[in-house]
Structures are given as structure tokens and as C-alpha cells.
Amino acid sequence: MSPSYTGSSSDEDDVSPREKTQKNSKGSNDFCVRNIDLHAFGRREIEIAEQEMPGIVALRKRAADDKPLKGAKIVGCTHINAQTAVLVETLAELGAMVRWAACNIYSTQNEVAAALAEAGYPVFAWRGETEEDFWWCIDRCVNAENWQPNMILDDGGDATHLMLKKYPAMFKLIKGIVEESVTGVHRLYQLSKANKLTVPAMNVNDSVTKTKFDNLYSCKESIIDSLKRSTDVMFGGKQVVVCGYGEVGKGCCQSLRGLGCVVYVTEIDPICALQAWYAFTLMGIDGYYVFPLNEVIRVVDIVVTATGNKNVVTREHMDKMKNGCIVCNMGHSNTEIDVGSLRTPELTWEKVRSQVDHVIWPDGKRIILIAEGRLINLTCSSIPSFVVSITAATQALALIELFNAPAGRYKADVYLLPKKMDEYVASLHLPTFDAHLTELSDDQAKYLGLNKAGPFKPNYYSQGKLVMPKSKSLQMLLFYAPYDERTVPPAEILFRVELESKNLFEFK
């Protein structure tokens, strides 16, 4: 039986998928995608992605016989693209049942969603969902006949938020939440602080492998590709402001600077601001200029947000922008740019191409708004599959850990991925480069107080950032450590250490 649906065969027709009757080749209609007939194209996309995702594929092969997720019923709310599909199919190979929705209304690859639906996975997502569609799709993943989820894999916290609001009783059977974004992690910590978090949650966003590879290198490559695809802009000589100098901001700055842009940085954190200036002065090259947005907004050609905060770029800022300024977002949510303030009678919106709007002021000035303030790199481009393999393996291991953890190991709080698992994720990807690790001798391991097999760093160590366990006192300390970025020659650079207890170390 071939897959079928009623309605236009166009990928971008005007009929809402919710109004179509579609079935896959097995006769199932437990999905809602734009066009099930796109499944063959989507399957090729998934196969191509697999070739660049050695770590998650290796994990699938190693753990397939053990089925460590047998009995897991996972609600997934992430971007739906070829790389995510590899993760979804890996979780299924490891024994899990899944239902999946998108965390972004513009980032879904319709052909990939169709391929997953054709393979029998309940997927509810399509590119260009309305706000109502967005919440309806998540609801269909959470609340279905003969379905009680016991795990949540979230990107931004929307599935967690909906379940807490509409189905709080479901959390009695939830074993854990895995969250991969800055925004979602922030929401989890807020829930924990308010004593509203009733299950353990794993923060994989701050795992070393996620932070140092996905957040930095993925964004470093995809910001340029997405800006080129959407605007055809030439970067040499352009003045750019990047709002936020976390790992995402660092990647954006390095890439834009490398193509000849003059880069400004806005920051609220004095340590990140110091990094922005100091990182490159060590090489005898000027660092990034650090200013409040108001002081540079009139001169910049491109504005990139990467903070995870709301209203970073306001209507007041956009009123001051020069004609032709490009405005885009690399953070998680669409709230970083106050797009709602632009929907007023005196401003005219003109769609010039897919996901690119000109917003025109009464005097003729126009700004170029990308993806209505949503993620530019997932809306207008894609991200490197190899980097996503690292993140996907991290997510899979976090799910395995929470699902199989004995009672009492994790309380209703937010945890970092155990360092041993972080190191295991990295080791899965080393064979790609024919990399071989040095092994400690027994004497060396004893001297360092380590197990020869690892972990080689404590759980609170984050490759340059130390976050110690909670306690009443908090000290901030700056120290010198080798800079670990490949793009910069070895040098000493200030890194941040957060010591939350005086008694954890003895200073002599």
C-alpha cells in the first residue's frame, strides 16, 4: 500500500495539514505532516545526514542489543530535520516509543517529517505552523489514546510547559526531562527555584560536548551560510553587532570577523565582555569592541542576537537603525527581537523571499528582518551534521541515564550530564579523525587521583568554566588557563571559575 493523502501535492500548498486526510503505506494516520508523498526525498536526506553522524550511529550499534530504553515512552519537542530524524530512529532502535513535535514553527524539514511518518513514527510538525498549530502539535504528542509518556526530550521547554499547565497529573509517571537549550534550561531552573519541578531534569546544554561543539562550531559555520542564503550580503567591511558573547556569540563573532566584518559585542556579564576584548589581543590583534546596543545601533549593517533573553532588540532600537540593516536571531526563542512592536499601522511589511521581510518606515527606510525573529540558522539554512551527532549522542545518553537510574539517585532538581558520559560522547567521535588517546600509567593515575578509564575531570568542570556544587557562600575567581580554541595559537587567557564554597580547596 502506497502512502496517500487528499489535497494538493505541493509541498507549500495553502491547505492546513490538520484539514487533510493522510495515511502512510502501513495504513496509519497517527501523524500530521505537510505532505506524506515527500517521504522518499526525506529518507535520502536522513541517509546523507547519517554519513556525517558517526557518534550517534556508533551508539545505536553498540546499544541496540541491550535495548536500554525498552519501556521508555518519549515525548520529543525539538527541531525536526534530517539530523533529528537520526536521533529519533536511534531512540527507537534502543527500545523507546516516541511521539514528536517541532519546537520552532519554521525549522521543520517537511520531507524529513514525511519520512518519519512513513516509517511509522507519530510526528506532528510542518514548516510554517501557526501559533495555534504549534501548541496543537505538541498536545497531540502528549495526549494520545493508549499513551502515557514517561520521558520528555525538550528544546526550549515548551513540551514541559504545556504538560505542567494542561496535564500535571502525567508527571506522576515521568522519570525525567532532558533539555538542550539555554532558554529551556533557564525555565527549568525557574521551576526548580519555585518548587514546581517535580521530576529530575538533565541539563545537556551545559555539557562540555554540547557547549564547546554545537553552540560554538555549529553556529560559527551556520550563521554565515544562513545570512548568505537569505540576503546575498557581502560581509567584507560590514559593521556587525552580536548581542551576547556566550558560546553561540563567540562562534558568530569569529566567523563574521574572519570574513572581514567589524564586530561589536554587547554583554551584561563583565567576564564575557573581558573575554570579547581579551581573546584576540593576545595575538596582537584588536579584540571585539564592547558597547551597549544604543551606542552602535545607528552605524551597524547587521544585528545578530544570541542571548536567550527577551526584548534584546526593541522598537526603539529598530527606529534608530540605518536603511537596509539586517536583523536576525541566533538565540533559541523568537522573543529576542521585539517583532510584535513592528506590527503597527504606520509600518509596511513586504515579503521579498521565503523567510525574508522588509519592514518599511513612513520615510522609506527599511530593515531586513529574517525569519520573523526566529532562528536564522535553522530556518534559512541547516547545521553541520557532525556537530549535531555530538549533541544527539549527549541527549540519548541523558535519556538512558534518567530512565534507568535507580530510585533516589536523582531528586526533583536540575542536573548536569555526568562527566563520564560527556567523555564517552567525545570518544565515540574520535575514530572519525583516526585519533588515538594517550593512556595514563598506573603511577600517573595514582598521582592525579584518577581512574585510568576516566572520568578525567570532575562533574563541575566545564573545560574552562568551573561551577562548584551549591553552598551558601559564593566567590568569584579569575585564573589563567591555556586557551583551548583551535583558531587561536596557545596562549594564556582569563577564564572564569565559580567557587561556591571556600572550603572546597585549600589555597597555600
Q: Which residue has the cell 551558601?
A: 472
DSSP bridge pairs for 97: 73
- Distance between CA atoms of 111 and 37, rounded to whole angstroms? 8
Q: What is the bridge-based pairing of β-strands 366-370 and 356-360?
A: antiparallel
**249 annotated as belonging to a binding site for a ligand:** yes
**247 annotated as belonging to a binding site for a ligand:** yes
DSSP classification of residue 212:
I
**377 annotated as belonging to a binding site for a ligand:** yes
Query: What does the buried/exposed string (b/e) look like for 17-35 if buried means 16 or more CB atoms within 10 Å of the residue's CB?
Result: beebebbbeeeeebbbbbb
Class of residue 453 by CB neighbours under 10 A (exposed 0-12, middle 13-18, buried 19+): exposed
CB neighbours (10 Å) of residue 402? Answer: 24
**250 annotated as belonging to a binding site for a ligand:** yes
Q: Are 206 and 183 in contact (CB under 8 A)?
A: no
Cell of 3: 502512502
Q: Are 197 and 220 in contact (CB under 8 A)?
A: no
Residue ranges with strand state E in 180-291:
201-203, 239-243, 262-266, 289-290
**284 annotated as belonging to a binding site for a ligand:** no
DSSP per-residue string spanning 469-485 = PP-S--EEEEEEEE---
Cell of 92: 527507537
In terms of Cα–Cα distance, which of 130, 163, 146, 112 is closest to 30?
146
- Cα→Cα distances 25→4, 22, 113, Å: 8, 10, 15
**267 annotated as belonging to a binding site for a ligand:** yes
CB neighbours (10 Å) of residue 156? Answer: 24
Known binding-site residue numbers:
246-251, 267, 377
Known binding-site residue numbers for NAD(+):
246-251, 267, 377
